Structure 1
Amino acid sequence: MRRDTFLKSVAVLAATAGLPLSARAATNLKMMIPANPGGGWDGMGREFGKALIASKLVDTVQYENKGGAAGVIGLAQFINSAKADPNALLVTGAVMVGGIITGKPAVSMGQITPIARLTAEYNVFVVPADSPLKTMKDVVAQMQKDPASVKWGGGSRGSTEHICASMLATKVGVDPKKVNYVAFRGGGEATAAILGGNVTVGGSGYSEFAEYIKAGKMRAIAVTSEKRLPGLDIPTMKELGYDVVLGNWRGVYGGPGITPAQRTALTDIVVKATQTASWKESVEKNGWAPVLLTGKAFDDYVDDQFSSLRGIMHLSGMV
Structure 2
Amino acid sequence: MTAKNSLKRLTLLALPLAAVAASTAHADEWAPTRSIEYIAPANPGGGWDTLVRTTARVIQEEGLAERNFAAINVPGGGGAVAWAQIARDSGNPHKLFAASPPIILVPLAGTSRYDHSDFTPIARLITDYSIVLVSADSDYESLTDLVEAIRDNPGLSVGGGSAPGSMDHIAMAGMASAAGLNASDINYVPFSGGGEAMTNLMGGHVEAVITGAGEASGQLEEGSDIRAIGVSAPERMGGVLADVPTYQEQGIDYTFDIWRGVMGAPDMPAEAVAYYEDLFAQMLETDGWASARDQLGWIDAYQGSEEFGAFLDEQKEQFSEVLSELGLRGE
Q: TM > 0.5 between the two?
A: yes
CA distance in 1, matches of 2:293, 2:27: 28
* 1:240-283 alpha-carbon deviations (Å, 9 max, x no partner): 11112010111111121222222222222222222222222211
Aligned partner of 2:69 in structure 1 is 61
Shift of 1:35: 0.7
Query: In structure 2, which of residues 269, 284, 291 is the aligned counterpart of residue 281 of structure 1?
Result: 291
Query: In structure 2, which of residues 94, 104, 128 is the aligned counterpart of residue 87 of structure 1?
Result: 94
Shift of 1:77: 0.8
Shift of 1:109: 2.1
1:21 aligns with 2:29: yes
1:112 aligns with 2:119: yes
CA distance in 1, matches of 2:234, 2:264: 32
CA distance in 1, matches of 2:218, 2:284: 25
CA distance in 1, matches of 2:33, 2:65: 5
Bigger CA radius of gyration:
2
Alignment of 1:1-319 (within 5 A): 21-23=29-31, 28-53=35-60, 54-80=62-88, 82-214=89-221, 215-231=223-239, 232-319=242-329
CA distance in 2, matches of 1:97, 1:180: 22
* 1:63-108 alpha-carbon deviations (Å, 9 max, x no partner): 211112221111111112x321212211111122211111252222
Shift of 1:299: 1.0
CA distance in 2, matches of 1:270, 1:27: 18
Contact (CA 8 Å) 2:168, 2:210: kept in 1 or not? yes
Shift of 1:110: 1.4
Cα RMSD for the two superposed structures: 2.3
Q: Runs of 5+ in structure 2 lacking a partner?
A: 1-21
Contact (CA 8 Å) 1:114, 1:253: kept in 2 or not? yes
Shift of 1:201: 1.0
Shift of 1:132: 1.6
CA distance in 2, matches of 1:281, 1:218: 24
Contact (CA 8 Å) 1:134, 1:221: kept in 2 or not? yes
Shift of 1:194: 0.9
TM-score (norm 1): 0.89
CA distance in 1, matches of 2:317, 2:177: 20
Change (3 A) 1:150 1:79: closer
Shift of 1:234: 0.6
Shift of 1:308: 0.7
Contact (CA 8 Å) 2:99, 2:260: kept in 1 or not? yes
Give aligned-pair identity as a percent.
28
Q: Runs of 5+ in structure 1 lacking a partner?
A: 1-13
Shift of 1:129: 0.6
CA distance in 1, matches of 2:319, 2:115: 16
Q: Secondary structure at the match of 2:43?
A: coil
CA distance in 2, matches of 1:212, 1:52: 25
Q: Secondary structure at the match of 1:158?
A: coil
- Aligned residue pair count: 305
* 1:153-205 alpha-carbon deviations (Å, 9 max, x no partner): 33222333211221122223322123100000122211111111111111112
CA distance in 2, matches of 1:234, 1:159: 24
Matched AA of 1:194: L
Moved more, 52-61 or 91-100: 52-61
Change (3 A) 1:56 1:19: farther
